[in-house]
Amino acid sequence: MYKDREKAIVLSETRIYRVDLVRDKVDEYPSANGYIMSGIYSSPYFIMHYNDGFVFLDEKDFRIVKRIPFKNTGGVRCYLKDNSGKIYAGTNKGIFVTDTSGIILQQFNKETGLPDECIYAMAFDKAGYIWCSTNKGILKIAEGKLVQHIMKQDGLQENEFNTNVVAESADGELYFGGVNGFNSFSPSAIGASKDSVHLLMTAVMVNNEKAIADTADWNISGLRLPYNRNALSFDFAAMGNHNPDQYVYQYRMDGVDNQWIQHDKMQTVRYSLSPGKYTFHVYASRSFDKDAKPMKSIRIIVKPPFWKTWWFLSGLVILFISVISFGLDQRNKRKYARRLQQLENEQQIKLERERISKDLHDSLGAYANAVLYNVELLEKENAELKRKELIGDLKFASKDIITSLRETVWAFKKEQYAAEECLVRIRNFIQPFTRYYQQIHFNIEGEAPADLMLHYTKALNVVRIVQEAVTNSIKHSGASVVHITSAATVGNKWSLSVQDNGAGFAVAELKDSERGNGLYNMQQRSAEAGFDLTIHSLPGKGTTITINI
């Protein structure tokens, strides 16, 4: 660890020895507990490393003064100290440059260009350059980067050396001990060799097949590949003054790698590339150069699948915009339609109110006037027979008022009614008549269409037209039979007919008389609801009224 003319400090794995060169005396001290491979003197401490930390020993009695964590080194094999006091620790993870407090100032490893990170021994030459032995020969480091790499092919005993075996003679010659002897050389006599290196691509493969069948691999400068032929492999070799395996190779794929990658043992370089543009660079020299300029480059384009091409994606964008525009347009149309429907509904409600008002005025008002008129006649009439007729008319008018109100209220309960519900309403209307008018036989047969739905206004008109037809048969025809037939027709339509065997009438003549108001009301309701109404009657032949819904 230290030597001058009077003394030397010697370190073993378990002991420290102070050797007095004047008195030929040796003092022994225990060292720190742990596997220790080397140490260095930096006044006023002796520094060594074990258990992932630097240990500082007092220079007089070698007691431990302090510890500083120093991890991830794999162990320190050797040390150097320069004129500025910086300490160089050679480890299994490269060279760490620290100050005397243990703060890491710099690190040399594979990322910075070292071909091997296992540093066995280090020494400064007269020019201040660092020479170090490794598992891959001897390296020369100058100005923070590798400048020379000497290997077995250049005359070394072996590429592998031993821990801390280095010495310097008075004239500056360096000695490094290895597994098969030692090498000595004068650093100033070993200049950087001038070597004209030519790099060749010896194999360029795509999906384990020759990239371009009719072209020599070393002539390939570019590749244009489909997305499913993206597994590439490269082999290359340097031609120069040395054997190909004596060169340090490095490669980089622009678009994948951020920096040069050192290529060990000339293994095949493989990439699996996504669609895109790349450039593969290769460089070879006697030492790693992180700032190297490529000797050989191959431009590579991996085309995307059609669903990832710009035109397909542009089409998707246009389609998406079109769909969104169509959706917005449909939304606005639906919004407009809803608003229009709302206005139409409001208009329909207004018209419906007017219609109801008119209907109540025309029906209930007429019935009320009839009641009032008949009551006045009844008050003045003395003949018993005539009084009975007037009372009968009053009963009819009263029932008509009740029926009209009942049907109007029923129609307003729902927005839509099934045809079957309308037929049930008609049956309920007819049922009491069998009790009131025993001289007349009432009959309803047939069914309504099962799936036919009617708006409440149409449902009301259906019921009202049938009621009007039945009432007319009771009042005016003198019929003994009133027959109602319901039938589903083609296209889910509905046919209703009211037939009696009464006196009948001439349809054309009755329309022009006041007694034709009932027929006029039925025809008006049919027209409003969009029904097809036919009236067939002859004097003495009865009457048939048919509604096609």
| Alpha-carbon Rg for the chain in angstroms | 58
The pTM of the full predicted model, rounded to 2 decimals, is 0.51
Last-in-domain residue among 145, 163, 189? 189
More confident residue, 378 or 453: 453
Distances (CA, A) of 204 to 217, 231, 234, 275, 414: 6, 11, 5, 19, 82
Q: Which domain holds residue 251?
A: 198-307
Check whether residue 251 and residue 169 sit in a common domain.
Answer: no
pLDDT in tens, 52-104: 888 999 998 899 898 888 888 888 999 999 988 899 999 999 999 998 888 88
Residues ≥6 apart with Cβ < 8 Å to 138: 131, 132, 149, 150, 156, 161, 176, 183
Distance between CA atoms of residues 222 and 212, nearest Å: 10
Distance between CA atoms of residues 157 and 231, nearest Å: 41
Amino acid at 196: S
Check whether residue 466 and residue 333 sit in a common domain.
Answer: no
More confident residue, 328 or 377: 328
Last-in-domain residue among 128, 162, 189? 189
Amino acid at 193: S
Grouping H, G, I as helix, E, B as strand and the rest as coil, residue 119 is: coil
Distance between CA atoms of residues 364 and 152, nearest Å: 125
Check whether residue 424 and residue 519 sit in a common domain.
Answer: yes
Check whether residue 340 and residue 395 sit in a common domain.
Answer: yes
Last-in-domain residue among 139, 170, 189? 189
pLDDT in tens, 374-396: 666 767 777 777 777 767 766 76
Check whether residue 169 and residue 39 sit in a common domain.
Answer: yes
Check whether residue 406 and residue 386 sit in a common domain.
Answer: yes
Q: What is the CATH number of the domain that holds 480?
A: 3.30.565.10
Check whether residue 358 and residue 422 sit in a common domain.
Answer: no
pLDDT in tens, 484-535: 999 999 888 999 999 999 988 888 776 655 555 678 888 888 998 899 999 9
pLDDT at 18 over 80: yes
Taking residues 401-412, what's their average pLDDT?
67
Note the pLDDT of residue 358: 55
Check whether residue 152 and residue 257 sit in a common domain.
Answer: no
Grouping H, G, I as helix, E, B as strand and the rest as coil, residue 84 is: coil
pLDDT in tens, 273-285: 999 999 999 999 8
Taking residues 366-374, what's their average pLDDT?
56
Note the pLDDT of residue 365: 47
pLDDT at 412 over 70: no
Check whether residue 424 and residue 408 sit in a common domain.
Answer: no
The number of helix segments (H) and strand segments (E) in the chain equals: 8, 35
Q: What is the CATH number of the domain that holds 216?
A: 2.60.40.10
Q: Is-contact 212 177, C-beta < 8 A? A: no
Check whether residue 364 and residue 504 sit in a common domain.
Answer: no
Check whether residue 284 and residue 175 sit in a common domain.
Answer: no
Check whether residue 473 and residue 509 sit in a common domain.
Answer: yes
pLDDT at 272 over 90: yes
Query: Domain total for the chain?
Result: 4
Q: If pLDDT is split at 50, 70 and 90, which confidence band does 432 have?
A: confident
Q: What is the CATH number of the domain that holds 139?
A: 2.130.10.10
Taking residues 3-29, what's their average pLDDT?
92
